[in-house]
Copies of this chain bind each other. A is one copy, B any other.
Amino acid sequence: MLPYKTLIPLDRQSATLITTQIANTLIRLIRQGILPANTKLPGSRAMAGLLGVHRKTVITAFDELTAQGWLVQQPARGTFVSSELPDIAPRQLTGTPASAGLATTTGYSFRIREQLTLPVLKNTNMLMFDDGFPDVRLAPTAQLARNYRNVLQRSFQQRLLGYADTNGDLFFRQQLAHYLHDSRGIPASPEHIFTTRGSVMAIYLLAQILLQPNDIVVVGKPNYRSANLIFAERGATLIHLPVDTHGLDIDALEAQCRQQPVRMVFVTPHHHHPTTVTLSAERRIRLLQLAEHYGFVVLEDDYDYDFHYASSPILPLASADAAGMVVYIGSFTKSIAPAFRVGYVVAPPNLIEALGYYRRIIDRQGDTVLEQAIAEMLAEGDIQRHLKKAQKIYQQRRDVFCGLLRDRLGDAVSFTIPDGGMAVWTRFNDRIDLTALAAACHKQGLIIGNGRFYQPDEPVVHHTRLGFASSTPEEMEQGTHIIQKVLATLVP
């Protein structure tokens, strides 16, 4: 007889009824071929004894399985696995019980989009000069947790926990409208605002709605990699135009527009990603004029507006957009912490409406509770106070970091001190193999990018972004010391 006691483990703490556990396990055993067709099961009394349960529990399970067609009860003969079920070949159990029944590869093929592979950052306590992320240790988690709990408690009465407006919570959009007006001169009202899970979702949704396959999208060379992947996946044709110290080359853009109809220009004007340069005031105005003249969409990803050290930030393009050419994207990823996935689109209401249609089929709706918790932080000025504090700290860190790069790494690196943002676009000199450097640093406990992420199509890469905002002066000290040591071994 089969070892039923082992094959049918019962969990008496489980919320699942014992009789259900028995029935479910028996079905699995039949399906896995461990109990082939026509197998005679022990009688209900014997089975009850084996499993240590009441006989009635077993009878209920057998009856249920008989009703479902898995078992056949023959008077005076006993209970059998049904022979009328399609024949299932016995299958050998392999691996641990927990993964026995599930395949390790699919039984069909599918397109793996090589290009979509992006490095996945695991949480780590290693030192890291990242792409330019905020220091989550500074995040105002206490206020956020308090607000979250309060909203949850209130929402109980308000039915806020059900399905909600796909465009985002109204209170959040109201507070955000005030904030955008006060902080960056964007005269938005709630109907101009669409809430997303961050800038990636915003760009993705806009690409689906605004682009058709083969549409021309102009981007900087280099450009924010995730945006390029999204446009390419949509089937758009990417035109890469030069970026100089004043940002995207607008003369080149105008020449391009004369040649072929441009559908969209993607810019990160406040600080170009990855090079950190700022699009000059004059080029901004020309860009808006070209957009109106040639009828293209300006997609403005203002991912780090909040962090500007040298002078007051230049207002976003969206603040001067009266013709409806600019779609503005922002997020709280950098302002609070990446884990809180709230971003937004500012655009004319007819586009906002279309975004809602598409959002419905990729994500239904956002996180109402989190949006309300953040809205309260905006209303109370918590976010503004946090940013004021963080801005000061990051400015100090920028100065410390640039000093360390200069003093420790000398002529191995060259860079321009960034006006703002959270990273330094660093050029390592020609003798340095960045891939080898990054790998060697990793062994010493420091993570840095090897630059390929930013320029995947270049044969040789000398630049990478080194983020300073997420490291304390002590960590920057240790990290640059590692680079210094590794350089000494790589370039004798």
Contact = CB atoms under 8 A, between A and B. Distances in A.
A487 interface: no
Contacts of A319: 27-28, 31, 101
A325 interface: yes
Number of copies: 2
A473 interface: no
A161 interface: yes
B357 A112 contact: yes
Given A107-B292, A160-B339, A362-B200, A24 B346 contact: no
Interface residues of A, number: 155
A164 B341 CA distance: 11
Nearest to A24: B185
Interface string A41-83: 0000000000000000000010010011110000000000000
B187 A123 contact: no
A101 B23 contact: no
B339 A155 contact: yes
Contacts of A97: 187
A27 B314 contact: yes
A6 interface: no
A1 interface: no
Interface in A344-398: 346-351, 353-354, 356-358, 360-370, 381, 384-385, 387-388
Contact of A28 (B189, B315, B366, B470): B315
A339 B318 CA distance: 31
B349 A104 contact: yes
A256 interface: no
A136 interface: yes
B105 A349 contact: yes
Interface in A275-309: 280-282, 285-286, 289, 291-292, 295-297
**Which 4 residue pairs spanning A and B have beta carbons closest together?**
A103-B324, A15-B384, A31-B320, A136-B161
